[in-house]
């Protein structure tokens, strides 16, 4: 289960790329929760712009999670780990793809005596999903989506990834 996006222009600043990775990662986590699934791994693919000064076209890597999860913060943390590990820091990014791998049915969390349960965060994210379903995708969002590079608001107006509705005017 995943999502991808072709960016409206070349992104060269890590902070801007990070915003988009977080937005897509959160969207994938929300879809997992909606389908009562959880991820046992994450996949990140970064496509470089054609103006890249090197022969590289990008990279794609995956990572197995220690515990299956639907927690956006955990998923995004691993996606950003992959990004900062494999991005060369200079190649302009034009395409970002994120996927949840090793899907399993969502069930109760494995108890761990050394770490507190993550129920509160997942319950909060379930509540955010319910608010978005009732009042619209942009009714509640991360403040970082308002920063330069954020694409959440523009993408929320698309239908199936494409402009919809008034295209014949």
Question: How many domains is the chain built from?
Answer: 1
Mean of per-residue pLDDT scores for the chain: 86
Q: Kindly state whether residue 169 falls inside one of the protein's structural domains.
A: no
Whole-number Cα distances in Å, 141 to 109, 112, 147, 149, 168: 26, 31, 12, 15, 30
Residue 25 falls inside a structural domain: yes
Q: How many angstroms separate the CA atoms of 90 and 67, rounded?
A: 33
Where is pLDDT greater, at 13 or 164? Answer: 13
**Do 4 and 46 touch, CB atoms closer than 8 A?**
no
> 30-44, 53-67, 75-89, 130-144: which has the minimum mean pLDDT?
130-144
Structural domain includes residue 161: no
> What's the domain range around 126?
2-156
pLDDT tens across 56-70, in order? 899 999 999 999 999
Residue pair 87/56 in contact by the 8 Å Cβ criterion: no
- What is the Cα–Cα distance from 37 to 22, expressed in whole angstroms? 19
CATH value at residue 104: 3.30.1490.100
């Amino acid at each position: 289960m995943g999502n991808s996006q072709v960016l409206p222009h070349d992104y060269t600043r890590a902070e801007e790329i990070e915003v988009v990775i977080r937005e897509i990662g959160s969207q994938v986590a929300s879809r997992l929760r909606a389908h009562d699934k959880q991820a046992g791994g994450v996949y990140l693919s970064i496509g470089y712009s054609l103006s890249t000064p090197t022969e590289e076209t990008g990279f794609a890597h995956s990572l197995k999670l220690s515990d299956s999860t639907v927690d956006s913060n955990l998923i995004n943390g691993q996606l950003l780990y992959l990004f900062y590990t494999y991005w060369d820091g200079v190649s302009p990014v034009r395409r970002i793809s994120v996927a949840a791998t090793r899907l399993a049915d969502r069930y109760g969390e494995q108890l761990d005596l050394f770490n507190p349960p993550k129920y509160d965060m997942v319950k909060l994210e379930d509540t955010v999903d319910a608010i978005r379903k009732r009042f619209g995708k942009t009714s509640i969002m991360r403040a970082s989506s308002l920063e330069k590079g954020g694409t959440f608001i523009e993408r929320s107006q698309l239908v199936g990834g494409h402009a919809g509705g008034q295209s014949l005017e």
